[in-house]
Amino acid sequence: MDRREVLKALTLLSASAALPLTARAQPAPGRFAAADDGFLLDGQPFQVLAGEMHYPRIPRASWRDRMRKLKALGLNTLTTYVFWNAHEPKPGVYDFSDNLDVAAYVRLAQEEGLFVNLRPGPFVCAEWDGGGLPAWLFPTDDIGARSLDPRYFEPVKGWLKRLGQELAPLLIDRGGPIILTQIENEYGAYGSDQTYLNAQRQALVDAGFTGLLYTADPAEFFAKGSMPGVVGGINFGTMAKAKDEFAKRAQTRPQGPYMCTELWGGWFDSYGKLHETMPTQPLLDSLEWMLQNKYSISFYMLHGGTSFGFTPGANWDRKGYTPDIASYDYDALLDEAGRPTPKYEAVQALFKRYLPPEAFKPMPEPEPSIRAPHFTLHEVAPLSQLYGKAVLADAPRTLEALGQTHGLILYRHKTKSALKGKLSFGEVRDYALIGDGRGVQAILDRRFDETEAEIDIPAGQPLDVLVDTMGHCNYGAKIGKDQKGLIGAASLNGSPLQGWAHYALPLDDLSELTFAPGGATGPAFYRGTLRVEAPGFTFLDMRGWGKGYVWINGRNIGRYWSAGPQQTMFVPASWLKAGENEVVVLDLLTGGPRALSASPRQVWDLPGAV
């Protein structure tokens, strides 16, 4: 559809904006439909009671357990985002295997008697790296994210068509469980281009998503993000009052169907802050008001799980850059390990006052957990073992310009002369260790807008700048404009510093490492063995370590950092085996004893904690 066709369609839709849904020209209704006061399933009123859980954040072996806990709460629908950058790590290279088999996730939900509310994005926010948008999509910052810029939108259409091959056959009118499909995601908080939104809708339809579509926005952005003739949900949190939020929505659209598409029962965590927690009673108050009025609801999150590997995102606002932690516990109804919380029990008790007994399925047996006493990681391999062939350039280049989407990068400047004085960069994204190949002289942290440091590099030694990247911004003005590494020109005492070698360190393959007993004086990998009699979930206690990543039996379980608030790393039971399990920890900082322990207990930095 070209822009003229989109504008014509928009004009027609705008003319019908004031009409109730039932009065507008609608396609032949399917099994799931919208009325002015609610939803209809096979012609009968249907209240969507959903919980959001994300398949990449839950080990595949635990998908069924989490769904059964959703059913035990009295819910009837599973909500999930789809994460484009996880499925298309390189242009045209797709991955729907193992934990990314989203079609298997949807089919399993159907097996468990659940409907599915699908949120395919392509932008999803979700405290996920780049909001789900692939970093390779933005080699430069002039590409218009969430727009009709063909450099953005043509790949979007290609992705949605590929996703449609997986999921369009699972729409309810084709025998599957998908009853709702979202257009974009909270677009009103970002822009107001109805031409773009209509193009997004058409791209979904062209990909086979021909069922009931909807938008979702915070109530204050509903007018900008909703679409005439399209179901419009609103998102709000624990401390808001549902009655007030729907009153805001009514200023733009008084008719239904009425749905809280994200009921935030908690909040996400960022590095360097205390663990986020939310009170239960205000949540119950809003929930009860919606139950009394038979509004549809989707908990965000019912269960957050874990942002494994390099998947956590970051926010950008007036306070600057705030990267998100690996745990996506979210203070949700189920904790990071999938255990029911007191909040879950309180919500369940409320539901039992409004729903029939048959809505509640039995709670599954608790998953086993394990403990392990302190064990030492005796073997070491320096990070330098992974330095490959360098790319040379006059000025520092970003990871994206070099075709890298995550991990670390080493910038090296060699000169025969000594280097002393103020070293400056345009920006550092996101955390840089500056040294001379023998030790660290300075650290620059983007959270504090640090871009310069005093250095003293002896003659004959290299100037090394090792940059650890964290999440690409998933919210705010920096979406698509958060290229990683050293940004802009480098200078020493105000004079340009040219001639840089770039060593890519994506950390996707550690097989080339050679470990040996001993210690290290710089960034290094440490290896040890976790012995267990039988698999069970656990949390590795990272206190005493600095900043880096952890692998269990070759799987990257995520990023850790002593900055907190997260001090333990979740290890799924299904990623362990009886007997010996390999544990590898990359620590960028020199520190204390290289030892770990494990227990079922999460450790957080909390208000008042000592």
Catalytic residue IDs:
186, 262
Q: Which of 381, 377, 440, 431 is nearest to 407 (CA)?
A: 431
The two structure tokens encoding residue 17: 């904006």
Spatial contact of 347 and 330, defined as CB atoms under 8 Å apart: no
CA distances (Å), origin 432, targets 397, 566, 585 = 15, 21, 19
* CB-based contact 73:333 (threshold 8 Å): yes
* Structural tokens at position 552: 């269990």
Tell me the one-letter amino acid at 439: G
Residue 537 bridge partners (DSSP): 369
Q: What is the largest CA-CA distance in the chain?
A: 80
Q: Running DSSP on this structure, what letter comes out for residue 183?
A: -
CA distance 610 to 323: 24
One-letter identity of residue 57: R
First and final C-alpha spacing in the chain: 60
Write the CB contacts of 8 (distance below 8 Å, at least 6 apart in sequence). Answer: none
Cis peptide before 517 (omega within 30 of 0): no
Cα 14 to Cα 87, 226, 258: the distances in Å are 35, 12, 21
Q: Long-range contacts made by residues 17-26, C-beta under 8 angstroms, separation at least 24?
A: 17/228, 17/229, 20/255, 21/229, 21/231, 21/255, 21/256, 21/257, 24/229
CB count in 10 Å sphere of residue 607: 7
Is residue 331 within 8 A of residue 300, CB to CB? The reply is no
